[in-house]
Amino acid sequence: MKEFRSASQILFGHLPEQTIDADGGIWKVKRWIEPRMVSAIDTGALREELIRAAYPWKENGQDGGFVDDLYARRSIRVKSLNRDEGIWCEPFPRLYLCQACHRLHDEPLGQCKCGSRKRRGQLPFVGYHDACGTIKTPYVAKCPTHGQRAVRFPGTASAAELIFYCPVCNTVIQRGFGAACDCDQGGTLSFTVHRSGTVFKPRGISMINPPRREIMNTIEEAGGGERALEWVLDGMAGRRLTESKVALSPESVRKLLEARGADEATIQAMLAAIPLNNQANNRKPIELEPRLRADAERHAKQIALATFESRITLSDLLDRSMGASTRELYASKYPAALAKAGIERVELVDRFPILTAQFGYTRGAPNPGDSRLRTYRDQNGDYTIYGDLGETEALLIRLDPRMVHKWLVAMHETLAPATDSRGAAETILSRMTAMEQPNQTTRLVVELVHSISHAFIRRAAVYAGIERSALAELILPTAFSFFVYAAPRGSFVLGGLQALFESELHILLNGLVDDEYRCALDPGCEDNGAACAVCLHLGEPSCHMFNTALSRKVLAGGNGYYDITTLPESS
């Protein structure tokens, strides 16, 4: 069997141990054939992102030691699809149905007792065990007298309602499936159609990863996450991080030199050579809880990496404008729309370097941590991550920290007063905790950024002329930011986000604020989180937070963010 699928479809829908529909049958992916190694990976950032993504399973003891292995620096290899070789599949499940008489067989070919010689279809049900991760062909006993079996369908997709009987004597053999798993975890198998999300749910990450290692080295040599955080807090001045005037503290210089293996004498000499005015004028680093600082530096570093080679700001658009109408658009209409939406900046990254990767899967309960995480490992026990490194186009959207501060106060959060953007950001961050163990302030910020991201994507898809499923997000809550990017398709970039950025951004933002934020499924939707497939949810792989931390209530309805941004300044 040979069929063709896009690389992105294989990455999300054709992973090892996943069942697929192809060539008129059902198959299970056994392996990717001779996948290519991806070497230009920021392994440090990858480990941090994997730990963050797998932490819910770690907390519930369901990660199989994955997080501990990551902390212990166990080897990780990122592999991409070998487009010349493809993937290897085998027929599964091996329970075949005669289309004429509904007898069940163990083989796809041959003459049925009813006389039919047509190729048999497969019974689309599988058995799975969420604890051990096994997946099996359901067992159906044969009539002890006649050695045959057939199935009677009840008209529903429920495996429990299937009736298996002898087609000769019409004796009912069994109703539904049922079998204990023979693993050491105990429990029974669950049965459902093979394409159900409970049978296989991929678990993945998305992170910014430049295609060349020199860029990562340059960012690290410039001060890494610490300097990136200061740069973002100061408004991303300069074309890129390395052009900013943010100075490193002596403590940071020491850490950098120690990481490079410098001896104490060299470190002292380098510290003494730092100009006194640099030391005196250097702002004291913001004091944050250590794990939150790690999150904040990681998010800021992601922005620095993404904008290192490609960054187009609204000031760039204004400088390039030729006519009076475009100058008015960029000098007046765009700033007014940004202020109305409570957004500090929107920038275009036309060469957005994104790594999309799958590190494992679960069977059973879909929420992270509720079922056992299964990871991919090679014969040496090292971890395999299936991914794709590509460049696409993206928009960086950063909320105005002053308006976020104002909204949080309206939500009864206790925050010190702030007069400027940096002060507001520092005040909010000082009240937050790490993403893995969020307090109320963190939960509100994440929900706000994530909900605005979804609302933005749903509108951007219309204005950019892109299918909603072709847009994805990367959420950076500690930077009050998110990226919206076009999912890479081969080696080209769609261009729709650039056209949106250059001509219709103000219409999108005004519509975002003035949109109707009631749901057609209210009051049911509002009573159950105020987020559903009709109003805010996005499909996979667009949302990597599994449509959690979303609510229309944080956008509008009395105490929403847009209720605050549209108030007069005096209020």
449-507 residue pLDDT tens: 999 999 999 999 888 877 888 899 999 999 999 999 987 654 444 688 999 999 999 99
413 lies in some domain: no
Tell me the mean pLDDT in the region 406-415: 95
What percent of the chain has pLDDT above 70?
91
The predicted pLDDT at position 443 comes to 96
pTM for the whole thing?
A: 0.82
More confident residue, 184 or 407: 407
- pLDDT tens column, 193-206: 999 989 999 999 98
Amino acid at position 278, single letter? N
Least confident of 4-8, 172-176, 187-191: 4-8
Tell me what pLDDT residue 494 has: 64
C-alpha–C-alpha distance, residues 523 and 61, integer Å:
37
b/e 37-60 (16+ beta carbons within 10 angstroms → b): ebebbbeebbbbbbbbbbbbbbee
Summary mean pLDDT of the chain = 88
Instruction: Tell me if the bond preceding 93 is cis, omega within 30° of 0.
Output: yes
How large is the average pLDDT for residues 419-426? 94
State residue 491's pLDDT score: 41
Q: Look at residue 318 and tell me if it is in a domain.
A: no
336 in a domain, yes or no? Answer: no
In this prediction, residues 209-234 reach a mean pLDDT of 85
The answer, yes or no, to whether residue 421 has pLDDT greater than 60, is: yes
pLDDT of residue 113: 94
Q: Is residue 58 part of a domain?
A: yes
What is the phi-psi region of residue 325: left when phi exceeds 0, alpha when psi lies from -120 to 50, beta otherwise?
Answer: alpha
Residue 276: predicted pLDDT: 45
The answer to whether residue 133 sits within a structural domain is yes
Residue 349 lies in a domain: no
Rounded to the nearest 5°, which phi and psi values hold at 512? -60, -40
Residue 25: give the domain boundaries: 7-203
Contacts (Cβ under 8 Å, ≥6 apart) of 269: none
- pLDDT of residue 404 exceeding 60, the answer is yes
Question: For 307-400, where are the alpha helices, taking DSSP H only?
Answer: 314-320, 324-328, 334-341
Give me the pLDDT at residue 515, please. Answer: 86
Residue 483, class by beta-carbon neighbours within 10 Å (0-12 exposed, 13-18 middle, 19+ buried)?
Answer: buried
Q: What element of type H or E holds 22?
A: strand 19-22
* 503 within domain boundaries: no
Number of separate domains in the chain: 1
Q: Mean of the pLDDT values across residues 161-173?
A: 95
Domain presence at residue 114:
yes
Average pLDDT score over residue span 384-388: 93
Find the mean pLDDT for residues 71-82.
Answer: 93
Residues 34-51, mean pLDDT to the nearest whole number:
88
